[in-house]
Amino acid sequence: TQRTLVLLKPDTVRRGLVGEIVGRFEAKGLTIVAMVHRSIDGDLADRHYAEHVDRDFYPPLRTFVTSGPLVALVLEGDEAIEVVRALNGATDGRKAAPGTIRGDLALSNRENLVHGSDSPESADREIGIWFPAL
């Protein structure tokens, strides 16, 4: 079994899609191990997105993820990292396949509703940032 860190970004909260998206993860069979609704400052955004801080898309992404409350959760299950990324769909909502969260619900490259850890190392690092007690 595996754990992964998921963010429901501020667009998810603003659009009232928390239940819809958490419901998809639960319906798939993943278990919620931790979940919190909170706002973050730029320093936490920089830690979470450490590998992206020098990219040209990062400043607007930083503004976006600090623009309002989000929901962070840890999901557990067999191959949870890959399963969540498959459910999330491609980064750009316009190109994500129908049936995925982004493919069904997002129309933007930046405001794409969800984040999921991309490797076991990333999951460990990100869970340590968001849920240090786990």
Q: Rule CB under 6 A: is residue 2 a binding residue for ligand ATP?
A: no
Nearest Cα neighbor of 5 from 110, 112, 126 is: 126
Piece in contact with ligand ATP (CB under 6 A), picked from 10-18, 69-77, 93-101, 107-115: 107-115
Instruction: Report the C-alpha gap between 110 and 106 in whole angstroms.
Output: 10
Residue 110 engages ligand ATP in binding (rule: CB under 6 A):
yes
User: Of 9, 131, 114, which is closest to residue 70 (Cα–Cα)?
Assistant: 9
Quote the CA–CA distance of 29 and 76 in Å, as a whole number.
Answer: 9
Q: Is 62 marked as a binding-site residue?
A: no
Q: Do 91 and 103 touch, CB atoms closer than 8 A? A: no
Binding mask 113-132 for ligand ATP (x = CB under 6 A): --xx-x--------------
Known catalytic membership, residue 115: yes
On whether 57 is known to bind a ligand per the annotation, the reply is yes
- Residue 88 is labelled as binding a ligand: no
Residues 88/81, Cβ–Cβ less than 8 Å: no
Could you list the residues that contact ligand ATP (CB under 6 A)? 52, 57, 61, 91, 109-110, 112, 115-116, 118
Binding residues for ATP: 9, 57, 85, 91, 102, 112
- By annotation, the residues acting in catalysis are 115
